[in-house]
Chain A
């Protein structure tokens, strides 16, 4: 296979792994933990590299994942003291750890490929070149293997603990009551997230990890209410972002990191503005309709008891503070809808049965 195909494949697998991982973070209201982790793994990575002087040592992964766990643990301990709230604690801890990493890099590794840019951009373009022999598969890029393995680990975990995860995320108190250990499960889960961040770090860099972990699940969250559909959709959107971003990057001749992240963000914007149920436009439309409905009801209320259309018009335009033309349209509309009519008996405006029903429905309807 050509290098380009490998790059694309690696990007897709990374995206799917991050998307699945992030989808659980987003529903668990831990989205920004991924931002923290993607920075906090750096010092672990650098320290292990300084020690072993090799990028391929598995100790790098272990040390970096541990570094991520330390970040999570310190943040939690800090917020448990109630001296700082957890958001501020997260920000302080990951920034301090990332700074340590950056300083170690600039002091000790001036010319290594640990260049500060690579930390942010990742090395997706170079990933297919670092190959190794694997049984059965032959000579395959290392990143392909690590990312696939990572994805399999996450997928197995999600499948095995599907029910427990669901309860833990949507009803933590119930989870504690029915007796499995949500704290333990939480730590296993965070360890997996930390591992994913580490393996994706070399390929994707810190920007893209966060983008892929949050943006595709956020889009999926607006599109469905079913948990299983949501998980699959998150992965699918992540994969689409990877493919589109990859070709955009080729077109602009830049590293794929920025473009893939930007495409994931762009897809979210599309979903946010246009999706049928839970979007900017849909919400606006519902609000607009409710408003009109309410104005119609008020208008009926004001018209009741008026002797003729002129009196009704004055009442409506005075009380609702609207212009006479709009008032006239409203009054005519209500009559043509047969909500309210001049009664022959009393000679005044009275609500019809249909009108009463319509008003009752509009007022009872939940906002």
Chain B
């Protein structure tokens, strides 16, 4: 199959378009997580989201008697579970002497542990729930499972996230870099922080279908970390990260559709990691090569 043939295939087009949109949104949101030095929340939120996904699937099954795996059902569940894990982490850090990293780690046990338990329970129980076999695709991601309805959901949610981001741009920028200053200006820091966290959680949750809960951190953080090497402006960084995320995810979607149903997540992760390595080595001013040259100049002088 050559490239033009491939892109004219209907399923592949859905997958590429969906993956690219997802990658762009996750990449853009990742910038905020990265700059706030909270990259690891990407890992914890995505793992926690598994509980939400499985719960949503189960509740809809109990209500309607049908197994429904469309994003319209699963995404709200994932969002709520992800946000809950973050708010619980904040509450633990604020009211005990446990440090943030350990608090985040505990959420993995609580949410991912019970998510896995429920997932295996649903997969085992009888009578078999129709559609349950696809649930564990959320572990490592399977872009090929995307449907047209999912595409709409991704488009609407992604556009919503980006719109909120641009409307609240200056405020988000201030609380990302300097919370004390934001409080001094009389902004409602607590509220803004929850809004920003909710946006980041959306950026994570939207990507689970292609990257999977285990590897989502890479799709969130790698584009941001790469973009950071090339620019010193937040606006340019977000645009660049969205582009990197979109292109890598789209490409990853294509590769996994051709190759014997490989899980999409690992392929996308390796692509974004490649971009990251190239950025760290080649970026002007900050990159290894430019550092090395500067070092030589100083030596010669």
Contact = CB atoms under 8 A, between A and B. Distances in A.
B108 A214 contact: yes
Contact of A88 (B34, B115, B215): B34
Interface in A111-126: 116-117, 120-121
Nearest to A96: B273
A85 B109 contact: no
Interface in A272-314: 272, 278-280, 283-284
A204 to B, nearest CB: 12
Contact of A259 (B117, B225, B262, B270): B117
Interface in B39-75: 39-40, 42-43
A84 interface: yes
Contacts of B229: 83
Given A222-B98, A254-B117, A280-B95, A91 B108 contact: no
B113 A116 contact: no
B105 A34 contact: yes
Tell me which of A26, A91, A221, A279 has the highest count of chain B C-beta atoms within 10 A of its own C-beta.
A91
A88 B113 contact: no
Contacts of B140: 102, 116
Contacts of B34: 88
Contact of B40 (A30, A91, A283): A91
Contact of A116 (B40, B96, B111, B139): B139
A330 interface: no
B225 A84 contact: yes
Contacts of A213: 105
Contacts of A34: 105
Query: Which of under 10, 10 to 19, 20 to 34, or 35 or more describes the interface residues of B?
Result: 35 or more
A210 B105 contact: yes
A257 interface: yes
Nearest to B38: A87
A120 B42 contact: no
Given A29-B101, A254-B124, A100 B109 contact: no
A258 B37 contact: no
Nearest to B43: A91
Contacts of A254: 117, 120-121, 124
A149 to B, nearest CB: 26
B92 interface: yes
Interface in A86-105: 87-88, 90-92, 95-96, 98-100, 102-103
Contacts of B107: 265
B270 A99 contact: yes
A92 B98 contact: no
B117 A268 contact: no
Contact of B269 (A88, A95, A262): A95
Contacts of A29: 99, 101-102
What DSSP secondary structure best describes chain B's contact surface? helix
A106 B262 contact: yes
Nearest to B271: A99
B262 A218 contact: no
A260 B270 CA distance: 32
A100 B95 contact: no
A265 B109 contact: yes
Contacts of B120: 121, 252, 254-255, 258
Contacts of B97: 221-222, 278
B114 A265 contact: yes
A61 interface: no
Interface string A211-247: 1011101100110000000000000000000000000
A265 B276 CA distance: 34
B225 A258 contact: no
Among B96, B139, B263, B273, max chain A CB count under 10 A is at B96
Contacts of B114: 258, 261-262, 265
A255 B121 CA distance: 9
Nearest to B291: A81
A91 B218 contact: yes
B32 interface: no
A255 B136 CA distance: 15
B162 interface: no
Nearest to A287: B95
A177 to B, nearest CB: 24
- Choose among A99, A100, A255, A262 the residue with the greatest number of B CB atoms under 10 Å from its CB: A99
Contacts of A252: 117, 120-121, 124
B61 to A, nearest CB: 17
B14 to A, nearest CB: 23
Contacts of A255: 120
Interface in B87-127: 91-92, 95-99, 101-121, 124
Interface of B: 34, 37-40, 42-43, 91-92, 95-99, 101-121, 124, 136, 139-140, 214-215, 217-218, 221-222, 224-225, 228-229, 262-263, 265-267, 269-270, 273, 276, 280, 286, 288
Interface of A: 26, 29-32, 34-35, 39, 78, 81, 83-85, 87-88, 90-92, 95-96, 98-100, 102-103, 106-107, 116-117, 120-121, 207-208, 210-211, 213-215, 217-218, 221-222, 248-249, 252-255, 257-266, 268-269, 272, 278-280, 283-284
Given A98-B214, A103-B270, A253-B124, 6 more contacts: A85-B39, A218-B105, A221-B97, A261-B114, A264-B113, A278-B96
The 7 closest A-B pairs by CB, nearest first: A261-B113, A265-B110, A258-B117, A258-B116, A99-B266, A214-B105, A211-B109
